[in-house]
Structure 1
């Protein structure tokens, strides 16, 4: 767990330097293979909880992206969805493309997040339920990393959630 914390802090530190200093290259490429790779990385953990992961993404859809970083962001979101979903549920990774932005959504039917916590959910080390977070593991940096990766792509993050109904975490990228 200490190594995971060190790795996450190093990633955040590099992202804090900004795309220019970190030399993040963004190339126009298909989005679907990046999402599929992220889901496949999470599939063993999902299967251990009998959780199904579905992907809905037009194979032709392209975006300016850094595949390694965007895959990490999606892995972080899917991993959280698995952690906070009860066994037997499903998680959906879907993409909506508009004229101005592409929205990657990770939708779960887990415990949900109370409204008062939503404004701070992407902050470093912020946890809704500290006792449960310790039990489930993690560094408390996963969502902060997602936010910084989205920003490095010229995008942003958002979340909608309701206790007992699940959450939808989104990465918004320029179209």
Structure 2
């Protein structure tokens, strides 16, 4: 088994190096090409504007290359077990709120709602075979709950920055977004959670474990963060692949909007280093209730719920809430320069 794992890791590294080389080749070729154009235009009468345009393209390509190299270095550190220090006391609420405010500042026409996330106790997943299990989660617009845990504040902020950055780049600027956070117990260990694949079935497994804890009031404590957009979304077959390095569901949009194709891979690495879980699902996953609504019987069939469009992308992050005196101890990964 150890040999097979080592062989798989070696193959993964070869593919990563190959992909990285390919991605770096594009901005390098652009810099080379525009440098030649600049040399050609700079001394020609009346062509100063074209020369300046070449310089602008060189600058843009070098910035993309810098961003790409920084992301590659981050992933290389994560792969070696470096670059993340999970021993800091982190208040999540300001991180989530700042991400929401940043997105609204980037897209002033966009409605960005913040609120709390709870687990409905009005129906049971075990009694529901074909229903949308994510409607077990209830988003209530309003104040974010106060949540603190042990982790790496800068890296967790990077996770949220990468998520809202993708929304800014790939969704219409007037499409709404909901960002919610909630605390819940679940009868699953952080170690098992962190090894679940980033697919919807794993999220269902977590919600089933949370449902068990809902009735027993026992289990490990977790914070659940959900970011729901109502943009064009991605094909269902691409949902589990968006965390792959350099994977882009729509290359044509990526070329137009920018990005390195590494943002979600970095987010996944950071979350797993915190013994957490992240996955992507199709939006329209949760019932959204108005603050004045108190009867959840109606909201489960959508009769009194706010209108939510049935497309877009939802990112769910689950992190264990560890206190300093918790019996569960995370591996501390030293910060590397």
Alignment partner, residue 94 of structure 2: 33
Question: TM-score of the superposition, structure 1-length normalised?
Answer: 0.88
In structure 1, C-alpha distance between the alignment counterparts of 2:170 and 2:230, rounded to whole Å: 9
In structure 2, C-alpha distance between the alignment counterparts of 1:22 and 1:150, rounded to whole Å: 13
Structure possessing the higher radius of gyration over alpha carbons: 2
Contact 1:124 1:144 in 2 (8 A): yes
**1:137-175 deviations in Å (ceiling 9; x for gaps):** 10000000110010111112111016x711111111013
**For residues 80-95 of structure 1, what are the structure 2 equivalents within 5 Å?**
80-95=166-181
In structure 2, C-alpha distance between the alignment counterparts of 1:87 and 1:38, rounded to whole Å: 16
Alignment partner, residue 66 of structure 2: 3
In structure 1, C-alpha distance between the alignment counterparts of 2:80 and 2:99, rounded to whole Å: 25
Give the number of aligned pairs: 171
Alignment partner, residue 108 of structure 1: 229
In structure 2, C-alpha distance between the alignment counterparts of 1:125 and 1:22, rounded to whole Å: 21
In structure 1, C-alpha distance between the alignment counterparts of 2:102 and 2:78, rounded to whole Å: 22
**For residues 83-162 of structure 1, what are the structure 2 equivalents within 5 Å?**
83-99=169-185, 100=220, 101-161=222-282
State the Cα distance separating 1:74 from its structure 2 match. Answer: 0.4
Gaps of 5+ in 1: none
In structure 1, C-alpha distance between the alignment counterparts of 2:152 and 2:166, rounded to whole Å: 21
Contact 2:84 2:155 in 1 (8 A): no
In structure 1, C-alpha distance between the alignment counterparts of 2:84 and 2:250, rounded to whole Å: 36
CA RMSD in angstroms, aligned pairs only? 2.0
Large movers: runs of 4+ above 6 Å: none
In structure 2, C-alpha distance between the alignment counterparts of 1:115 and 1:129, rounded to whole Å: 13
Question: TM-score of the superposition, structure 2-length normalised?
Answer: 0.47
Contact 1:52 1:91 in 2 (8 A): yes
Question: Which sits farther off after the overlay, 84-93 or 65-74?
Answer: 84-93
In structure 1, C-alpha distance between the alignment counterparts of 2:68 and 2:313, rounded to whole Å: 25
Contact 2:182 2:225 in 1 (8 A): yes
Contact 1:110 1:167 in 2 (8 A): yes
State the Cα distance separating 1:10 from its structure 2 match. Answer: 1.5
State the Cα distance separating 1:23 from its structure 2 match. Answer: 5.2
In structure 1, C-alpha distance between the alignment counterparts of 2:253 and 2:146, rounded to whole Å: 40
Q: Secondary structure in 1 aligned to 2:230?
A: coil
State the Cα distance separating 1:109 from its structure 2 match. Answer: 0.2
Gaps of 5+ in 2: 1-63, 117-143, 186-219, 284-309, 322-337
Contact 2:170 2:253 in 1 (8 A): no
Q: Which has the higher strand share?
A: 1
In structure 2, C-alpha distance between the alignment counterparts of 1:23 and 1:150, rounded to whole Å: 10
State the Cα distance separating 1:46 from its structure 2 match. Answer: 2.1
